[in-house]
Every structure is written in structure tokens, then in C-alpha cells.
Amino acid sequence: MDMVNVKINGIAVSVPADATVLEAAKTAGVDIPTLCYLKDINEIGACRLCLVEVSEGGRPFRMVTACVYPVSDGMEVKTNTPKIIASRKMNLELLLSAHEKKCLSCVRSTDCELQKLCRDYGVDENAFENAKNEKKSLDVSTAFLVRDNNKCILCRRCVAACRDMQGIGVIGANNRGYDTEIGAFFGKNLADTSCVSCGQCIVACPVGALYEKDDTAKILAAIADPTKHVAICCAPSIRATLGECFGMEPGTDVEGKMVAALRRVGFDGVYDMNFTADLTIMEEATELLDRIQNGGKLPMMTSCSPGWIKYCEHYFPEMTDNLSTCKSPQQMFGAVYKTYYAQKHGLDPKDIVFVSAIPCTAKKFEVGRADQNAAGVPDVDIAVTTRELGRLIETCGIDFKALNDEKFDNPFSVGSGAGVIFGATGGVMEAALRTAAEVILGKPLEKVEFEDVRGTEGIKRATYKLGDNTIRVAVASGTKNAKKLLNAVQSGEEQYEFIEIMCCPGGCVNGGGQPLQPASVRNTVDLRAVRAQVLYTADKKMDLRKSHENSMIKTIYDEYFGKPGSHKAHEILHTSYVKRGL
């Protein structure tokens, strides 16, 4: 790799010749502020916060945007001169002139990149008068998101996340000049587009212009109602990320503290969604083997990610028959709780409020889908993101860091390592292969890890010889990668028996409902890998690592469903899809 020598504030560093000034400064231990920049996603130099002074070839210093300006050999860079600081301060004050400054009541207060920079640079929030005073209406049309353009700073990070990272592009810049605002095309409501509810726009937003609809008040109201039985289940990836809401380092496993906190919130039951991840594998692996052996529709595609399901319904409606009919682990848990558990404990399903804690904004859409009501009422009543869960714990005055670890409640406390890894891209595939392989081979696996499907690459492919069967598999995360893979399948270029697709890049650990991290972290830390490692570490430490060996799974089939793929299992644990189109 070609290297060049650069001086950053007098510090000599050697950096790759294709580096930007921003990257070179990081090498020198200097952070240059940004608002619009997201590495590999939004590199447009629009916010002008990253202005620096550079001198090349002995020429006078001039101002450039560090995020897009390339380094050159012998370049000198100054990042904190009075001229630069004054420029950044003025840019921030100009942004504030068109920004609704309701910081105390904003969901991003103390977690806002604009707010932090304004504090760092000592801005006067009223330095410039807003020429327009009319209030912009909120877009609250979807089940999962609120867009508040009164707080938008036109950084276009949400646009890039939707268009360039996910390959969808249902939002963009409407109008021109001072009248520019971000939204769906032709001023439509977001609900009237082919948005898949992934929420990647929310985690990209540096301010409070985008946020999930908060359902924590509904939970507290239900807990306060003595006629209601309120239970919650927690998705596998939540234990790997919830700690970030309380200032812990990314990659901290907080499963025990999470359980302890939710008991103190007042839930009647706190359960591990790993249980229904295992249940999903039992049904999904059975369905896959049935399709392979009896000429069913192949490749079969996973159905755990509701954002991916909605993407398939909109963009590949002709392939909805390839989707596994299994409900997601979230929906399976609610269905099991309001049927099997309710009958065993004499509960009326109408009196149960079932909550799921999830990394995903699309789950808020999923709870309202048709054919998700096994007991005649919605399988799941409320889905809250990791961020909402953090706010709920804070609202209840719980000192999260001080809690001692506690364990999930029975009878659904038994979950395998296969269920744990559902939260990482490739995890569902690996979990299914652990069970399908042993069923096909009729003997235990010598090694349960299927490492070919691990990692954060957008698309992974592998072929496994299992007895007389050859199983070709593929894994994709992020809808842009899903499109590439499905186009290759439809053209006949690639053939598979089984495909796992997750809507969000990296899987659930990088879901649209996960804790917000500033661009300074997202640009330098691979959050997908760091968070996923928590799940793989937990799996490796467990004695139980295969879904079909879960004792509680065996019990529920013996007592209630009979066997995987039974008529009763299909009535309660399976669902249907809609060919939506564009």
C-alpha cells in the first residue's frame, strides 16, 4: 500500500495515499467534528463542520472539508485555528436558526450530536433569527417512526442510509433552497411508500428529527392495571446492547442485569426469547427438510426478520412462496404464551398483555400484521426497542449498573446457544444447520460451529455435504445485499436450498432499534462485529448448543404440539404473507 507523509497540527504521520484528511487526523489522535459524515454511507461534505486549513506544496493555507478532501505527500493540516473555530461556531449557529430548540423534551437530549457540538463550541443559540416561524407537521403515519422536520438539519444521513446502504430510497430531499425538507417523494406519508420499517434512518440521524414511536407508557399502564397479566420476552441481541444505554462499552453482556431491571419494572414474567428461537428452528428445519424431500418450493428463505419480510413482499412479491411460513420468534412467543401457557395457568388470553423487547423497529409493524393471532387476540401486544427499554428502566428509577445478575423465569428460561446466535447475521442459518445436519446424519455432530456463515460480510455462501444430501446455503444482511442475492437466484446464476436474510446490515445486533452511537464511534468501531461477539461467546460457553436438545422444547411438543410441523403447530406457529408490490 502506498503511503504519504502528512503533518496534522505539527504531528507527523504516515497514512495511506487514498486517505482523507479526516482519516489522517484520526491517525494523529485528532478528532475533527462532523455532522453529515458517515463512513462509506454519507461522504458529501455538506455540513461544513469538518472544515480545516491545509497547505500543499508550500502554498498558502486554505479551507477544505476534511471528510472528502484527499491527503497528499507533504501536506500540512491545521484543525483548530481561531479561523476554523469561528467558522464551525457560525455554521452551528446557522443550523440552530432553522432548528426547533426544544432540547429538554427531545428524545435525543444529552444524546444529540448537534447539542454536543454546540456545547463544545460555546454557541449562541439565538445568534441568527429564524426567517420562517411556521411549524412543520410531523409524519406519524407508520407504526414505528416519527419524522419531525422541525429538528432536521438536512445532513442527509437518513437519505443515504435508505438509498445507498439499504438500496431502497423511499426518502429524499423535496423542494429547493431554504424550503428543502426530507421526506417521501411527492410529499407522501411514509406509510404510503414501500418503506420496510428497518429504522436504519433513525440510527443514522444525528439529532431528534427521527425517532421510534415510544410505547413505554402503554407498558406502565398495563402493569398498573390489576386485571392484566403483563409478561415480557427479550430478544437474543438485547443482552449485547442494552448496556450501551447506560454508558457501558459496546460488547458488554448485561443479560443478568436486564432481567433484574425488568423484574423491578413490575412484569409478571420475564422470559428469554432464545426459547422461541429454538422453537423456530424446530419448525423451520422440519419445513426445510420437508421441502427438500417432497419437492417443495426452493430455495426456502428465513422469516425471522419482519423488515426483510416486508421487503420481499414489496420488491420480490413473486418469491413470497419461498418464505418459510414460520412466525418470527417474537410472534411465536406471544402465540405460545396466550395458548399453551394461558391454558396451563387458567389465564384468559384477553387479560394477557404480552410485550417483546427487540432490536428492531420493524417488529412494531409486525405486531399488527394479519394472521398473527393464534388465540383470537394479537400474539404480541407491544414491541419496544432496546432504546425504549433503556428509557423505561430509567423512568422507573432503577440503578441499572448497581443491579446484581438474575435469571429468566421458568418455564421458558431454557434456551440453547443456537438460539443466542440468532441476533447475528448467519446465526439463524447456523442454528438451523446444527439441527438439520443431525436429523439428516442421524448422529451428533463432532463440531457444531458452521463458521462459513459467520462474519459481517454482506453476502456469504457455503455448501455442506450431509450424508447423501448436498445443502447449498447463502446468507445476506441488509436489503441492498438481499437484492443482489435474489437477482442472482432468479436469473439462475446461483442455486441454493436454504437462504437466510436479515433486513439490517450485520443482523439484529445492528437493528434500527439498537442504542444510538455518534458518528465518531460508528466511523471507527465495527459495532456489528463487537456486539455479535457477545452472542458467539455466550454460545461457546453453554452446555446446550442445539435447539432440538432443549428440554423445554421437548416438553412443549410432548404436552401440546405433538411434533414439529404438526397441524396444531401450523395453526399456532405459522403464518402467511401478502404480495404487496411497489
Q: Answer yes or no: do 316 and 419 share one domain.
A: yes
Is-contact 476 499, C-beta < 8 A?
yes
Residue in 83, 85, 89, 80 with CA at minimum distance from that of residue 8 = 80
Q: How far apart are CA 520 and CA 516, in angstroms?
A: 12
Is-contact 238 390, C-beta < 8 A?
no
- Among all chains, which residue has been given the C-alpha cell 438460539? 419
What range defines the domain where residue 65 resides?
A: 3-80
Q: How far apart are CA 205 and CA 106, in angstroms?
A: 14
pLDDT computed for residue 467 by the predictor? 84
Q: Answer yes or no: do 238 and 362 share one domain.
A: yes
DSSP secondary structure code for residue 458 in this structure: S
Q: Alpha-carbon torsion 509, 512, 513, 518, what sign?
A: positive
Torsion angle, alpha carbons of 313, 389, 281, 165, to 10: 40
Q: How far apart are CA 578 and CA 115, in angstroms?
A: 43
Which are the contacts of 55, defined by CB distance < 8 A and separation ≥ 6?
A: 61, 62, 75, 76
Q: How far apart are CA 111 and CA 129, in angstroms?
A: 25
CATH number at residue 238: 3.40.50.1780
Q: Answer yes or no: do 248 and 205 share one domain.
A: no
Q: Answer yes or no: do 162 and 224 share one domain.
A: no
Tens-digit pLDDT profile for the chain (582 aa)? 799 999 999 999 999 999 999 999 999 999 999 999 999 999 999 999 999 999 999 899 999 999 999 999 999 999 999 999 999 999 999 999 999 999 999 999 999 999 999 999 999 988 998 766 788 999 999 999 999 999 999 999 999 999 999 999 999 999 998 889 999 998 899 999 999 999 999 999 999 999 999 999 999 999 999 999 999 999 999 999 999 999 999 999 999 999 999 999 999 999 999 999 999 999 999 999 999 999 999 999 999 999 999 999 999 999 999 999 999 999 999 999 999 999 999 999 999 999 999 999 999 999 999 999 999 999 999 999 999 999 999 999 999 999 999 999 999 998 999 999 999 999 999 999 999 999 889 999 999 999 999 999 999 999 999 888 899 999 999 999 999 999 999 999 999 999 999 999 999 999 999 999 999 999 999 999 999 999 999 999 999 999 999 999 999 999 999 999 999 999 999 999 999 988
Would you say residue 116 lies in a domain?
no
Q: Estimate to the nearest angstrom the gap between the alpha carbon of 84 and the chain centroid.
A: 36
Would you say residue 350 lies in a domain?
yes
Q: Supply angle C-alpha 25, 29, 35, rounded to 5.
A: 55
Q: Answer yes or no: do 76 and 140 share one domain.
A: no
Q: Answer yes or no: do 193 and 325 share one domain.
A: no
pLDDT computed for residue 131 by the predictor? 65
Q: How far apart are CA 252 and CA 270, in angstroms?
A: 20
Q: Answer yes or no: do 413 and 293 share one domain.
A: yes
Strand partners, 55: 76
Would you say residue 100 lies in a domain?
no
pLDDT computed for residue 468 by the predictor? 86
- Respond yes or no on whether the N-terminal peptide bond of residue 70 is cis (omega within 30° of 0): no
Would you say residue 261 lies in a domain?
yes
- Give 16-28 as a DSSP string: ETT-BHHHHHHHT
Q: Answer yes or no: do 243 and 362 share one domain.
A: yes
Q: Answer yes or no: do 197 and 241 share one domain.
A: no
Q: Answer yes or no: do 474 and 541 share one domain.
A: yes
Which of 147, 181, 212 terminates a domain? The answer is 212
Helix (H) or strand (E) holding 187: none
Would you say residue 582 lies in a domain?
no
Q: Answer yes or no: do 200 and 221 share one domain.
A: no
Q: How far apart are CA 310 and CA 577, in angstroms?
A: 9
Is-contact 71 19, C-beta < 8 A?
yes
Is-contact 421 431, C-beta < 8 A?
yes
Long-range contacts of 314-317 (CB under 8 A, 24+ apart): 314/194, 314/196, 314/580, 314/581, 314/582, 315/194, 315/479, 315/483, 315/582, 316/486, 317/579, 317/580, 317/581
Q: How far apart are CA 46 and CA 172, in angstroms?
A: 15
This prediction's pTM = 0.95
Q: Answer yes or no: do 285 and 383 share one domain.
A: yes
pLDDT computed for residue 466 by the predictor? 86
Is-contact 246 400, C-beta < 8 A?
yes
Strand partners, 499: 301, 474
CATH number at residue 184: 3.30.70.20
Query: Given the DSSP bridges, would you call strands 352-358 and 229-234 parallel, antiparallel or unpaired?
Result: parallel
Q: Which phi and psi angles does 392 have, rounded to 5°?
A: -60, -45
pLDDT computed for residue 455 by the predictor? 95
CATH number at residue 10: 3.10.20.740
Is-contact 163 224, C-beta < 8 A?
no
Q: How far apart are CA 302 and CA 159, in angstroms?
A: 28
3-state DSSP helix/strand/coil % of the chain, to nearest 5 = 40, 15, 45
Would you say residue 168 lies in a domain?
yes
Would you say residue 495 lies in a domain?
yes
Would you say residue 115 lies in a domain?
no
